[in-house]
């Protein structure tokens, strides 16, 4: 079986993300990263943020008190005299140790509670910001080669948000305790501080190197992961389950999925080897430095520079400092790691999506336009040698039904995206009543359009919402039933156990689905319910039976007087209801006229019609 092809992907950002990533960059970035996380959390719940910070400080102070009181207790315990006397003398300091340790634990527990409350909400905020960003972009953004890839990275950023808050809390907790321990160690003997730092520096540098390897691997797998995700959906969704089986695709799809997954795993496994080597190297260097730290402590004690009591406290302080320092370095590295993904999310939301956001003029589109005019309009898709619409001029008038026909790929769907302002032309102008759509707020255009696209959505919502989606809520179902009736769906909807309330999603418990043609009738309902000034139907009846098709074209005719109506169709019989037929070839209009005229004109229309009759 043929192996899946390796998808191409953009690499420039991968390089730039690493150029400035060093251990020192990590240390420099931590304060701003913490500030960014704090800002995100602050915007969600100030009380929890204050509780978290308060608890962190309290647990740090408690740790310092524990160490200081331990040092105080050690002096009588390791000093001379009778054991009961020594213990009695140490009791007050030991009581302080117990109280401070309890305060530390309570503060830690409360901090964890605050984080648990903040985590899901921070993640939801990041997630909704991403969804809003996706909703805000121009339709054209989806044609950009790297848009989906960048979106995928941003999705990972959202997933990491949750973990990042936990990492930030753990980092801060370790950092505050470390400062406390460092303070105690420095007071005991200043030489201990640099020795301690040296002991954990190698593991810090190793952790960052490991994080970089993981991030690089994540990027290298991005296109494959993206493709795998899409294929997974196609393979497992109920909608294609019949095609997958009846066209004997199962074996190949299974093979394809496994092969691609293995390819991703191979890179991850290879990276794991590099990570372990880095880790071991860092651990070995750390071990040597740590031995040096303990040797220094022994030397200080043996040479009489510190007393045995102080030395014993130093052992506790060094252990506390080391444990926390290792945590600081670990969480610093994971925070840094997460910050790279968060950077992807932020870049996508603040820059990529913002640059591609719908930002046209603020003018209002003319209400119920009399004419839509295309003047010399050209539109090309990226990576395509020829324009999809090529220097096209056309005027559509209110009250007129225009049918657009032509062979596959001749530019029909692109044309309707241009005249509804979904795409802006590369050259030429599209205007509604003389107002250039470039200067108009697109929402005021789309408030007046009703579109049945070629590939329409089957919304996993109630039947009613499948009709009214995008329109203000209504308490009265009469208008809904009216359009349901128009497309011949009343009986079907009435038979659903919950009628208009029925959930149309068989994947959800209690939900049902409809047949292909019934779904298409519902998509037509959606457009008709809007009573739009510009009604655009792109192959609206491709899945319908003759009765459904008849009903839709009757409805189109009945509604035509008050609006501009455009219908794209391959069934040329349907064009009989049109006032004018436009024939497209290679992005241009090559013929125009009524059915009666074009059927005898000797052009493409006549040829296609004769082919449709030749059975």
Ligand X SMILES: Nc1ncnc2c1ncn2[C@@H]1O[C@H](COP(=O)(O)OP(=O)(O)OP(=O)(O)O)[C@@H](O)[C@H]1O
Alpha-carbon gap, residue 535 to 557, rounded angstroms? 11
Nearest to 536 by CA among 384, 424, 404, 408: 404
The smaller minimum CB distance to ligand X, of residues 8 and 384, is found at 384
Least distance from C-beta 163 to ligand X, angstroms? 36
Of the candidate spans 11-19, 29-37, 148-156, 408-416, the one that interacts with ligand X by CB under 6 A turns out to be: 408-416
Of the candidate spans 6-14, 118-126, 403-411, 543-551, the one that interacts with ligand X by CB under 6 A turns out to be: 403-411
Proportion of the chain in helix, strand, coil states, percent, rounded to 5: 65, 10, 25
Nearest to 282 by CA among 203, 208, 214: 203
Alpha-carbon gap, residue 593 to 603, rounded angstroms? 12
The smaller minimum CB distance to ligand X, of residues 352 and 414, is found at 414
- Across 39-49, b (16+ Cβ under 10 Å) vs e yields ebbeebbeebb
Least distance from C-beta 386 to ligand X, angstroms? 7
Contact with ligand X (CB under 6 A) among 104, 157, 366, 406: 406
427-432 and 435-436 strand pairing: antiparallel
Of the candidate spans 146-154, 260-268, 357-365, 381-389, the one that interacts with ligand X by CB under 6 A turns out to be: 381-389
Give the tokens for residue 373.
């005019």
Of the candidate spans 165-173, 232-240, 402-410, 488-496, the one that interacts with ligand X by CB under 6 A turns out to be: 402-410
Least distance from C-beta 211 to ligand X, angstroms? 37
The smaller minimum CB distance to ligand X, of residues 307 and 380, is found at 380
Least distance from C-beta 510 to ligand X, angstroms? 36
Least distance from C-beta 388 to ligand X, angstroms? 4
Of the candidate spans 87-95, 270-278, 364-372, 406-414, the one that interacts with ligand X by CB under 6 A turns out to be: 406-414
Least distance from C-beta 559 to ligand X, angstroms? 23
Least distance from C-beta 227 to ligand X, angstroms? 17
The smaller minimum CB distance to ligand X, of residues 29 and 412, is found at 412
The smaller minimum CB distance to ligand X, of residues 177 and 412, is found at 412
The smaller minimum CB distance to ligand X, of residues 10 and 88, is found at 10
Tell me how long the chain is.
615
The smaller minimum CB distance to ligand X, of residues 471 and 542, is found at 542
Least distance from C-beta 4 to ligand X, angstroms? 22
Q: Residues in contact with ligand X, total (CB under 6 A)?
A: 13
The CA R_g of the chain, rounded to the nearest whole Å, is 35
The smaller minimum CB distance to ligand X, of residues 379 and 553, is found at 379
Contact with ligand X (CB under 6 A) among 128, 143, 351, 474: 143
Least distance from C-beta 613 to ligand X, angstroms? 20
* Residue 384 within binding range of ligand X, rule CB under 6 A: yes
Least distance from C-beta 154 to ligand X, angstroms? 21
* Residue 615 within binding range of ligand X, rule CB under 6 A: no
Nearest to 594 by CA among 605, 607, 610, 608: 605
Three-state SS sequence of 197-246: HHHHHHHHHHHHHHHHHHHHHHHHCHHHHHHHHHHHHHHHCHHHHHHHHH
Of the candidate spans 5-13, 407-415, 464-472, 525-533, the one that interacts with ligand X by CB under 6 A turns out to be: 407-415
449-452 and 534-538 strand pairing: parallel
Place of tokens 């890179």: 267
Q: Are 54 and 61 in contact (CB under 8 A)?
A: no
Nearest to 418 by CA among 398, 408, 404: 404
The smaller minimum CB distance to ligand X, of residues 248 and 408, is found at 408
Alpha-carbon gap, residue 466 to 464, rounded angstroms? 5
From residue 517, alpha-carbon distances to 450, 458, 521, 556 in Å are 19, 12, 6, 18
The smaller minimum CB distance to ligand X, of residues 210 and 538, is found at 538
* Phi, psi of 421, deg, nearest 5: 75, 10
Contact with ligand X (CB under 6 A) among 248, 303, 408, 613: 408
Least distance from C-beta 382 to ligand X, angstroms? 7
The smaller minimum CB distance to ligand X, of residues 34 and 608, is found at 608
The smaller minimum CB distance to ligand X, of residues 411 and 442, is found at 411
Q: Are 332 and 204 in contact (CB under 8 A)?
A: yes
Place of tokens 């019609």: 609
Alpha-carbon gap, residue 38 to 53, rounded angstroms? 10
Burial class (CB in 10 A: 0-12, 13-18, 19+), 180: buried
Q: How many helical (H) and strand (E) elements, i.e. helices and strands, does the chain have?
A: 20, 10
Alpha-carbon gap, residue 589 to 410, rounded angstroms? 10
* Residue 388 within binding range of ligand X, rule CB under 6 A: yes
Of the candidate spans 8-16, 331-339, 405-413, 526-534, the one that interacts with ligand X by CB under 6 A turns out to be: 405-413
Mark residues 409-448: x for contact with ligand X by CB under 6 A, - for none.
xxxxxx----------------------------------
Write out the residues near ligand X by the rule CB under 6 A: 143, 381, 384, 388, 406, 408-414, 454
């Amino acid at each position: 079986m043929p192996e899946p092809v390796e998808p191409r992907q953009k690499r420039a950002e991968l390089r730039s993300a690493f150029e400035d990533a060093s251990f020192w960059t990590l240390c420099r970035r931590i304060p701003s990263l913490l500030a960014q996380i704090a800002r995100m959390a602050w915007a969600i719940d100030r009380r929890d943020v204050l509780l978290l910070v308060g608890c962190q400080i309290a647990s740090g102070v408690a740790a310092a008190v524990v160490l200081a009181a331990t040092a105080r207790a050690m002096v009588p315990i390791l000093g001379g005299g009778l054991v009961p006397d020594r213990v009695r003398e140490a009791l007050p300091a030991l009581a302080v140790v117990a109280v401070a340790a309890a305060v530390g634990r309570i503060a830690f527990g409360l901090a964890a509670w605050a984080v648990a409350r903040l985590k899901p909400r921070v993640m939801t905020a990041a997630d909704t910001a991403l969804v809003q960003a996706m909703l805000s972009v121009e339709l054209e953004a989806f044609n950009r080669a790297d848009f989906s890839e960048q979106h995928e990275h941003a999705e990972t950023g959202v997933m990491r948000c949750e973990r990042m808050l936990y990492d930030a809390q753990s980092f801060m907790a370790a950092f505050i305790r470390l400062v406390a321990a460092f303070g105690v160690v420095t007071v005991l003997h200043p030489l201990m501080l640099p020795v301690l730092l040296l002991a954990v520096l190698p593991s810090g540098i190793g952790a960052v190197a490991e994080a970089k390897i993981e991030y690089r691997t994540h990027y290298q797998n991005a296109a494959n992961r993206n493709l795998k995700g899409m294929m997974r959906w196609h393979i497992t969704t109920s909608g294609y389950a019949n095609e997958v089986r009846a066209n004997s695709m199962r074996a190949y799809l299974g093979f394809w999925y496994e092969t691609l997954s293995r390819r991703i795993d191979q890179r991850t496994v290879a990276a794991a080897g590099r990570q372990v080597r880095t880790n071991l190297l860092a651990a070995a260097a750390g071990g040597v430095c740590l031995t040096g730290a303990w040797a220094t402590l022994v030397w200080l004690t043996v040479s009489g520079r510190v007393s045995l009591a102080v030395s014993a406290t130093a052992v506790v302080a060094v252990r506390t400092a080391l444990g926390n320092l290792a945590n600081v370095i670990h969480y610093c590295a994971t925070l840094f790691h997460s910050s790279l993904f968060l950077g992807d999310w932020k870049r996508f939301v603040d820059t990529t999506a913002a640059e591609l956001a719908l930002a046209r003029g603020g003018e209002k589109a003319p209400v119920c336009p009399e004419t839509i005019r295309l003047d010399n309009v050209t539109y090309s898709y990226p990576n395509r040698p020829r324009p999809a619409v090529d220097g096209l001029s056309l005027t559509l008038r209110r009250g007129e039904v225009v049918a657009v026909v032509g062979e596959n790929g001749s530019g029909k769907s692109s044309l309707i995206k241009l005249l509804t302002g979904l795409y802006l032309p590369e050259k030429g102008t599209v205007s509604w009543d003389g107002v250039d759509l470039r200067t108009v707020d697109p929402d005021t255009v789309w408030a007046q359009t009703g579109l049945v696209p070629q590939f329409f959505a089957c919304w996993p919502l109630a039947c009613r919402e499948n009709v009214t989606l995008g329109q203000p809520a209504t308490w009265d179902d009469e208008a809904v039933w009216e359009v349901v009736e128009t497309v011949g769906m009343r009986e079907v909807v009435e038979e659903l156990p919950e009628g208009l309330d029925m959930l149309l999603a068989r994947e959800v418990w209690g939900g049902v689905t409809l047949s292909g043609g019934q779904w298409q009738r519902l998509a037509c309902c959606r457009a008709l319910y809007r009573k739009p000034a510009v009604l655009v139907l792109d192959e609206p009846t491709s899945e319908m039976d003759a009765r459904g098709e008849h009903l839709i074209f009757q409805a189109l005719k009945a509604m035509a007087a008050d609006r501009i109506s455009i219908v794209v169709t391959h069934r040329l019989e349907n064009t009989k209801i049109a006032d004018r037929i436009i024939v497209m070839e290679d992005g241009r209009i090559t013929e125009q006229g009524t059915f009666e005229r074009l059927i005898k004109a000797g052009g493409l229309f006549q040829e296609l019609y004769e082919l449709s009759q030749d059975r």
